[in-house]
Structures are given as structure tokens and as C-alpha cells.
A and B are shown apart, each in its own frame.
Chain A
Amino acid sequence: MQSSTSSNDSVLDANIAQAASASSVHAHEHGPDLRMFGFSLFLVSEGMLFVGLFVAYFAFRASAPAWPPAGTPELEKFMPSVFTAILVASSGVIYLADRALLKGDMGKFRLFWGLTTLMGLIFLGGQAYEWANLTFTLKSGLYGGTFYVLTGFHGMHVIIGIILQIIMLIRSFKAGRYTPESHYGPAATSVYWHFVDVVWVALFGMLYIL
């Protein structure tokens, strides 16, 4: 059904409809696409997981005598900032991919989509490099524990995002799989990617700057 009809329908919803024509009943049968709504709720839940971990982090940090603990050097900030910039920029790039998809320009969509994936991979590489070169480990008290668990959790989300992107990219080569009207997969993936980005910005602030 046309989107105009279904929005009209929801207006009717609020009132007591006196006469139900056959067409409006039919319109109601199909209803709006609720998948994006559901997915946003999922992200709310995911967000609460991070909020819980963040609050725990601050509680631990508040109870520690020194942060980072004596003997542990401050985190190196320069390279992580560069990788952060890349990840944040990739949010813009995936937005461009979205726009291209809305216009039906599949070539441009694939270009920007692939570029996002690449930027995500670079971020992950940077993350892996940093993990490999840190002087502390998961077991180094609260400082090490929170650092690895938080960045690890986020990294896991980046990996899931990249996998989703690769799947969408492959599917996009099938003609008509994604159209300006119907592209729930890429749309959800891109919302997810923005979410992962926002979480990282918060994490970066907490772990590196504060």
C-alpha cells in the first residue's frame, strides 16, 4: 500500500471510524513496516548494556586510589585519536551510501558502503595493534579489566557491524534486492553502525581523555 494511505489510516485510528470501506480494511491488513521500530528497541537494550558497564566503570574508577594505578603509564592518545577519527568519519560515509541507495544509485551505494567496511577494518586493526602493545593485561586489576572488557565489547560490536555490511554488500549485487523503497537490511545496518560509533565516542572519552 501507499505510504500516504497508511498514514491516513493512523489518523483514522485515533478517531472512531464510522464506516470502514473495503480498501481501508485492506490497507490496515498490511500496516506499516515495523521492523525498524523493533530494531531501534533492540538498540535501546544494547545501549542499556553499555550504560550499565559505563556506570560500573565509573564506580570502579571512583573507588580506586589512583587511575591509572601507580606503575601503569597513561594510555597513548595519538594513534587512538586517529582511529577514532576514522571510525567517526565512517558514519558520514555510510550516510552517503544510504543517500545513494535512496536515489537508486547502486554503484555509488557499493562504493561508499565498501569504504565504510574498509574504515571499520582499519579501526579494528588499530584496536588490535593497541591491544598487542599495551603493558597491562585483562588481569591487571580494575584498570586493565575495565579497559579490555569495554573495548573488547565494543570491538565485538564493530566486528558484527562489519559482517553485516559485507553480507549487505554481497546481496546488493543481486538486481532488485535493495530498492529505494525496500532496503530494511542496509538501513538497519547503518543505524547500527551509527550506534556503534556513538558508543565508541563515549568510550574514547571515558578511557582516554577523562
Chain B
Amino acid sequence: MVQIAQGDHPEAPTGWREYFSFSVDHKVIGIQYLVTTFIFYLLGGLLAMVIRYELLTPDATLDPNLYNSVFTIHATVMIFLWLVPALAGFGNYVVPLMIGTRDMAFPRLNALSFWMIPPGGILLMSSFLVKTGAAGAGWWSYPPLSAQLVAEGDKMVTNTGEVIWLASVIFLGTSSILAAINFIVTILGMRTKGMTLFRMPLFCWTTLTTACITLIATPVLAGALILLMFDITQGTVFFNPTGGGDPVVYQHMFWFYSHPAVYIMILPAMGIISEVLPVFSRKPLFGYKALAISTIGIGVLGFTVWAHHMFTSGTPDWLRMFFMITSMIIAVPTGIKVFSWIATVWGGKLELNSAMLFAMSFVSMFVVGGLSGIMLASVPVDIHVSNTYFVVAHLHYVLFGGSVFAIYAGIYYWFPKMTGRMLNEFWGKVHFYTTFVGFNLCFLPMHWLGTHGMPRRVAAYAVDFQTLNVIVSIGGFLLGISTLPFLFNVIYCWIKGERATANPWRALTLEWTVSSPPPVENFEVLPEITEGPYEYGKPLLSVPQQQQS
């Protein structure tokens, strides 16, 4: 399937078999991550199609338990098998090149982190086959619901699907912790000469921050899931109120991870955008330091806002106020980012290719998600709209209009580097416009549905909501179809696309100074850095040596 340019780059991976092996080359691992997670993205997308099919009519069409499993696994796949690892895939491929090193700090650990993902994912998907069905308590897996026995025939049995869900999430969490350790050590310990922290491309900053969040937050989730696992399999009562336990403790532990997890999924995406915008605007990234520092700010503040997911959970008043204020404040560093991106674009010489279109729409869609996020931070408004389709709209504007758009931008941007081939611009634009229209058609009306009374996670809804739900579903199906031109483009161009030069975008970061695809150990001589990564428009002090290839 994948035949990487041979001949002119004798050191480059020479065959598709490499990609099915326990390769320790960060570039191979990066592509393994991206391809694997994209397959899971398609599977998660199919589940989304099932959800939209169910919601075409106000009555439950599917078996309600199956429907619960479908949206539970949809969310789990999209978070733990798509967004988190796909962004780690970019990190794997790009970060060592960007900071001028030959590989990640621990190549074998790196390969291990990747090879934990396919089994974890297959385990998760296989839970559809067990008799109890896949986990159906939502991706929050709130007890006591998740710990309840389920009917299997006439008997009440332990929920095997839930146990599998817990096991695979703990497994995937471990994988992301190992990857995080690797990123931190690589970025802090292996930068090339002259690559000071404030000369790193912004994507490295966001990957570093993300890795720190993963390292600190994921174990707490693991702790919660382990306790829940004991409740389900051993009959302990940690979260079981009938035995004196407290389900709200689970919620705190869960959201202590899962809110920062949002930043795990959006910060590297912001990093990608900060790479793409300057290149295609031909302007330096506006306010580089502010962007770097606001990344850290979001990372730190992200640990202080978790209970805004619990404003209706019987949280005491003072906690609601505290978490409202912290959640509001997080809008400030986020705003700095958005304004800096706009200022980067302003007055540039824009090349509106697919990567740039996705990057600019990232800014535009992310703003919508950010603004609805501020509304959700406000306790009185949140009390009305939490757990409704308003939240579903909000989170998809952030994680699809945000993260997924950024991943697409990243693929269009780095594909020539990764494969040595250019993607087709025409099909790229077809992909962009179908995605953009489908996305807004699908998620914009959800705001209205939410405020008017449609709770999330329901298979049946009031008849009045049908028209909008049909529109939403059409948007959803369009979104599903929009992946086809992309798939076609990627597969065709990977095999037969136009050859890419070392630096087709005339970018200034280090990955563009080596051939496309880069040789096995990246650099013949490690480069030495004397200036920042976005010096566009300045008299070039140091034209990347191998720019012409």
C-alpha cells in the first residue's frame, strides 16, 4: 500500500513492511500512529453515522442498549484512539525534526507506546461482541450506572462490556503516559545547539505542555477507573451509595483528568495551526512568546477548572463559584492565541491552499466553541444547558472544528515531508468545502436543540425537534462522505502523487531543511540554530542549507 520514495534517498524506509514492524524510527512510528488512528477515526465516524441514523426519527429505532453503547464507544474511540494518539503521531514525526535531533529519547519505549494502541483499540471494539454488549454508560462511565448488573437473558450479570471498556482505557492511558515521558525528555534534553526553548517552533511548546498534562492527569483517571473496576468485579462499594460509597468522588477524579484531557486534545492542534498560518501568510507568527506562555498558562489553569462539569452534580455553592471564575479566566490565554493568529494572517500574503483553509477555519470554528464555552462556564447558564445538545455542539466545535480541522491542516502541510509526494489541491479543496459545510450543518443547529430541551445521550426526543435533527443528520452524513475525497487523495497521492521537494512551502522550521522524506537519522550534521523559527519577511540570515533539492 505504501511505497516510500526509494532510489534518491537510499536511507529512507524502503518498504511498506517497515510500517508493520516494531520499528524504532520516530518517523515510521509517527506514520504508524497517524494511519492507525485514522482508521479508528473512520470507525468512530461510522458509529456517529449510526447515531445520526437513530436520531432521524423521534422514536427509538435501534435497541436502546445498543444505542447507548454506540455513543459511548463513539466518544471513547474519538478521544482515546483518534485525537489523543493522532496528535501524538504528529509529535512523533515532527518534534525530533523540529528540534534538530535524530530520534526520540527512548526509541524502543516509543515503539511500545504505539504498539499498545492497536490491541487497546481492538479490545475496545471487540466489546460489541460480548453478550452484555459494549459499555453503555457514556464515556464518563459514571457509577452507579456503570457498575450496575445488566440483563443477560433472565439473569443479571456483571457488565463485561464495561469491564473491557475500563481495561482498554487504562491500557491506552498507559500508552499515552509513556509517550508523554518520551516527549518531555526529548524536548527538554535533546534540542540541537542553539535551539533555546524560545527558539522552538510553537508545536514543540504545545507538545511539551500536553505531555506534562498527560503525565500528571492520566494517573488520576487510572486511579478512578481502577476503583470502579474493583466495584464492578470485586463487589467493593467505593462509588456505590447503597454500601456507603460516594459516586461524586468518582466524578471529581474523572474530571480531574478529563478536563485537562480537552487541552491534551486541543493544545497540539493549536501548535499545528501556529506552524501553518505563518508559512502560508509569509509573515512571522505574531506574538510568539505570548503564544508560548499562554500555552503553559492554559496547561496550568486547565487543572483548576474540572468541577465546571459538575455544576449540577450537587456541588457546594462556593465550589461552583470558584470553578466558574477559573473557567472564565481560561478564556484569557485562549483569547491571546486567537488574536495572535488573526494578527499573523492580517497583512500577509496568503496562499489559500487546503492546509491554510483548514487552518483558517480552525480559528473561525474554534472561536465558536470558545464562546459557547464561556457561556457554559457561567453557572446560571450552565445549569440550563449542561447535559443538553448545546454541550454536544460546543464540544464538537472545539474538538472537530478545532482539533480535527487542525489535524487535517497538519496532514496537508506535512504530507509532502512525510511521503515525498504532494497531495492534490483540487481534491483537497473538495474535501475542505464538504467538511466545512457538513460540519456546520451538523453542529450549528445543535445549539438551538440544546437550549430548547433536547438532552444529550437520548435515543428518543420530542417530535418538535425532528426537522432540525434531520438537518443535523444530513450534515452528519455529509461529514461522513467528506472523508472519501480525502482518503482517495491520500492513497492515490501517496503512491502516484507529484514528487515533493525538500521544502515545497518555503518554510523555515528545521524539518524542511532535510529531504522529503527525511533520511533515517534525519540530519547528516546536526544543525546549529541562530534565530527563531518564523523569521519571514526578514533578510534571510541563514537560508536552510538544503532548501533546493
* A37 proximal to B (CB < 8 A): yes
Most B Cβ at <10 Å: residue of A17, A45, A51: A45
Please judge, given known A-B contacts A45-B177, A49-B223, whether A56 and B194 are in contact too, CB under 8 Å: no
CA distance A56 to B224 in the complex (A): 8
- B234 with A138: CB separation less than 8 A: yes
* A20 proximal to B (CB < 8 A): yes
Q: Within the complex, what minimum Cβ distance (angstroms) separates A29 from chain B?
A: 7
Please judge, given known A-B contacts A28-B526, A60-B238, A142-B245, whether A34 and B190 are in contact too, CB under 8 Å: yes
Q: Within the complex, what minimum Cβ distance (angstroms) separates A192 from chain B?
A: 15
Please, which residue of chain A has its CB at the minimum distance from the CB of B214?
A45
Please, which residue of chain A has its CB at the minimum distance from the CB of B183?
A41
Q: Chain A 11-44 against B: per-residue CB contact (8 Å), 1 yes, 0 no? A: 0111111001000110011011011011001101
Residues in A with CB closer than 8 Å to B466 are none
**Among A25, A31, A64, which residue has its beta carbon within 8 angstroms of that of B244?**
A64
Residues in B with CB closer than 8 Å to A144 are 236
CA distance A135 to B203 in the complex (A): 56
Stretch of B54-62, B84-92, B249-257, B336-344 at the chain-chain interface: B249-257
- B237 with A41: CB separation less than 8 A: no
**Among B191, B192, B222, B245, which residue has its beta carbon within 8 angstroms of that of A49?**
B222
CA distance A48 to B253 in the complex (A): 12
* A145 proximal to B (CB < 8 A): yes
Residues in B with CB closer than 8 Å to A24 are 193
* B181 proximal to A (CB < 8 A): yes
Residues in B with CB closer than 8 Å to A51 are 219-220
- B220 with A49: CB separation less than 8 A: yes
- B244 with A141: CB separation less than 8 A: yes
Please judge, given known A-B contacts A45-B177, A49-B223, whether A60 and B215 are in contact too, CB under 8 Å: no
- A60 with B246: CB separation less than 8 A: yes
Chain A interface, DSSP helix/strand/loop, else mixed = helix
Residues in B with CB closer than 8 Å to A48 are 215-220
Residues in B with CB closer than 8 Å to A15 are 194
- A38 with B185: CB separation less than 8 A: yes
Please, which residue of chain A has its CB at the minimum distance from the CB of B105?
A34
CA distance A12 to B525 in the complex (A): 17
Q: Chain B 170-202 against A: per-residue CB contact (8 Å), 1 yes, 0 no? A: 000000010011101100111111111000000
- A53 with B223: CB separation less than 8 A: yes
CA distance A69 to B191 in the complex (A): 56
CA distance A5 to B217 in the complex (A): 37
- A16 with B194: CB separation less than 8 A: yes
CA distance A28 to B188 in the complex (A): 14
CA distance A44 to B253 in the complex (A): 17
- A20 with B193: CB separation less than 8 A: yes
Please, which residue of chain B has its CB at the minimum distance from the CB of A146?
B238
Residues in A with CB closer than 8 Å to B4 are none
Please judge, given known A-B contacts A13-B191, A51-B220, A145-B238, whether A45 and B246 are in contact too, CB under 8 Å: no
- A59 with B181: CB separation less than 8 A: no
* A2 proximal to B (CB < 8 A): no
* B119 proximal to A (CB < 8 A): no
* B139 proximal to A (CB < 8 A): no
- A17 with B528: CB separation less than 8 A: yes
- B193 with A45: CB separation less than 8 A: no
* B38 proximal to A (CB < 8 A): no
CA distance A37 to B211 in the complex (A): 14
- A44 with B106: CB separation less than 8 A: no
* A139 proximal to B (CB < 8 A): yes
**Among B189, B237, B525, which residue has its beta carbon within 8 angstroms of that of A37?**
B189
Residues in B with CB closer than 8 Å to A38 are 105-106, 109, 181-182, 185
- A28 with B224: CB separation less than 8 A: no
**Among B237, B243, B252, which residue has its beta carbon within 8 angstroms of that of A59?**
B252
Q: Within the complex, what minimum Cβ distance (angstroms) separates B451 from chain A?
A: 34
Residues in B with CB closer than 8 Å to A1 are none
- B184 with A59: CB separation less than 8 A: no
- B253 with A56: CB separation less than 8 A: yes
Q: Chain B 94-113 against A: per-residue CB contact (8 Å), 1 yes, 0 no? A: 00000000000110010000
* A128 proximal to B (CB < 8 A): no
CA distance A105 to B166 in the complex (A): 48
Please, which residue of chain A has its CB at the minimum distance from the CB of B211?
A41
The residues in A between 42 and 70 inclusive whose CB is less than 8 angstroms from any CB of B are: 42, 44-49, 51-53, 55-56, 59-60, 63-64, 69
* A79 proximal to B (CB < 8 A): no
Q: Within the complex, what minimum Cβ distance (angstroms) separates B133 from chain A?
A: 27
- A52 with B190: CB separation less than 8 A: no
- B230 with A145: CB separation less than 8 A: yes
Residues in A with CB closer than 8 Å to B109 are 38
* A82 proximal to B (CB < 8 A): no
* B287 proximal to A (CB < 8 A): no
CA distance A56 to B177 in the complex (A): 21
- A31 with B189: CB separation less than 8 A: yes
CA distance A145 to B196 in the complex (A): 49
- B244 with A13: CB separation less than 8 A: no
- B249 with A59: CB separation less than 8 A: yes
* B15 proximal to A (CB < 8 A): no
* A201 proximal to B (CB < 8 A): no
CA distance A42 to B215 in the complex (A): 8
CA distance A141 to B238 in the complex (A): 8
* B530 proximal to A (CB < 8 A): yes
Listed A/B pairs (28) with beta-carbon separation below 8 Å:
A13-B191, A13-B195, A14-B196, A17-B194, A17-B528, A28-B526, A34-B185, A34-B190, A38-B106, A41-B215, A45-B180, A48-B215, A48-B217, A49-B219, A49-B223, A52-B220, A52-B222, A53-B223, A56-B224, A59-B249, A59-B252, A60-B246, A138-B235, A141-B244, A142-B237, A142-B244, A149-B226, A149-B236
Nearest first, the 9 closest Cβ-Cβ pairs linking A and B are A52-B223, A52-B220, A49-B219, A48-B219, A145-B236, A34-B189, A41-B181, A59-B249, A38-B185
Which residues of A are at the interface with B, using a C-beta cutoff of 8 A? 9, 12-17, 20, 24-25, 28-29, 31-32, 34-35, 37-38, 41-42, 44-49, 51-53, 55-56, 59-60, 63-64, 69, 138-139, 141-142, 144-146, 149
Other A-B pairs beyond A29-B526, A145-B236, 4, CB < 8 Å: A12-B193, A31-B189, A142-B245, A149-B227
